[in-house]
């Protein structure tokens, strides 16, 4: 009899979110799951690590922990304090309330946790649901993730590669259709709203709405068609084409 998988689950929405609780409930049917998640929302925290203050960690029960840190902090604390000398078989971040596609992955705390897993060479997934509204069912999305985990070995992935999964909003039917996609591109008109508080002091609120470039085969295009997008990603920023061109140049400066 094969042993149960050991999975570390985190997110950037907080330990109380619909997505992470649905994921824990479903994955716990066949695996040993430990949740280490922020005690408050940490959206758009990106791949930040807390170094300028001590972190607090609280054990809610044998399988749930919270911390006042970022999703990346959660991965670090989970590995060192919960799993200790042995690595988990998977790190799964999500299910995020809202999509993480295209250029927005650079801001995402959800994706950052999977990036940390990839850096540590642990198979990792970032999972998000597009167009999420409070109260939207997440169990069918969690069931899709459980099936993906079960099939993971078939992909023969290098641990430095992680999967960024984006699901369309739950329409009441099981998630069956999926496509392997590339990272999309969005034209973001970032808006900075300037206002004045009751004491006469200025404050600013960053917002804006994305406009996606409609390119076939990208995460956005596929999710927009009501299909699950699975994008293999790596943390490797080297532009190999430009590097080859540079090496052929004879420039002095």
Mean pLDDT of 245-252: 88
Given a contact cutoff of 8 angstroms between Cβ atoms, the answer to whether 182 and 218 are in contact is yes
In a domain, 119, yes or no: yes
Helix (H, G, I), strand (E, B) or coil at 48: coil
In a domain, 202, yes or no: no
Q: DSSP string of 93-160?
A: EEEEES---GGGGGT-HHHHHHHHHHHTT--EEEEEETT--TT---HHHHHHHHHHHHHGGGG---TT
Q: Does the CA dihedral 170-172-175-176 come out positive or negative? A: negative
Give the model confidence (pLDDT) of 89-130 as tens digits.
Answer: 999 999 999 999 998 899 999 999 999 999 999 999 999 999
Helix (H, G, I), strand (E, B) or coil at 85: coil
Q: Which domain holds residue 219?
A: 5-185+213-248
Burial of 136 (0-12, 13-18, 19+ CB in 10 A): middle
In a domain, 203, yes or no: no
Give the model confidence (pLDDT) of 188-224 as tens digits.
Answer: 666 788 999 999 999 998 876 767 777 899 999 999 9
Model pLDDT, residue 65: 98
Confidence check: pLDDT of 1 > 60:
no
Mean pLDDT of 149-155: 97
Confidence check: pLDDT of 71 > 70:
yes
CATH number of domain containing 99:
3.40.1210.10
In a domain, 194, yes or no: no
In a domain, 253, yes or no: no
In a domain, 208, yes or no: no
Model pLDDT, residue 188: 62
Structurally, the chain folds into a number of domains equal to 1
Model pLDDT, residue 175: 97
In a domain, 57, yes or no: yes
In a domain, 205, yes or no: no
């Amino acid at each position: 009899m094969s042993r149960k998988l050991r999975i570390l689950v985190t997110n950037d929405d907080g330990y109380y979110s619909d997505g992470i609780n649905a994921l824990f409930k479903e994955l716990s049917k066949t695996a040993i799951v430990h949740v280490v998640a922020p005690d408050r929302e940490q959206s758009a925290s990106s791949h930040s690590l807390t170094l300028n203050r001590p972190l607090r960690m609280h054990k809610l029960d044998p399988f749930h922990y919270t911390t006042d840190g970022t999703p990346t902090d959660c991965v670090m604390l989970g590995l060192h304090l919960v799993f200790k000398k042995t690595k988990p078989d998977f790190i799964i971040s999500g299910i995020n309330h809202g999509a993480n596609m295209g250029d927005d992955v650079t801001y995402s705390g959800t994706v950052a946790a999977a990036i940390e897993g990839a850096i540590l060479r642990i198979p990792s997934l970032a999972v998000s649901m597009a167009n999420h509204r409070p109260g939207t069912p997440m169990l069918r999305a969690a069931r899709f993730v459980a099936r993906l985990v079960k099939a993971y070995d078939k992909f023969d992935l290098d641990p430095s590669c992680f999967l960024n999964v984006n699901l369309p909003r739950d329409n009441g039917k099981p998630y069956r259709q999926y496509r392997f996609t590339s990272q999309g591109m969005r034209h973001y008109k970032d808006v900075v709203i300037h206002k004045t508080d009751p004491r006469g002091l200025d404050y600013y609120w960053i917002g804006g709405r994305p406009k996606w470039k409609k390119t076939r085969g990208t995460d956005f295009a596929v999710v927009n068609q009501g299909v699950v997008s699975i994008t293999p990603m790596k943390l490797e920023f080297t532009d190999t084409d430009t590097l080859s061109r540079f090496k052929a140049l004879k420039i002095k400066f």
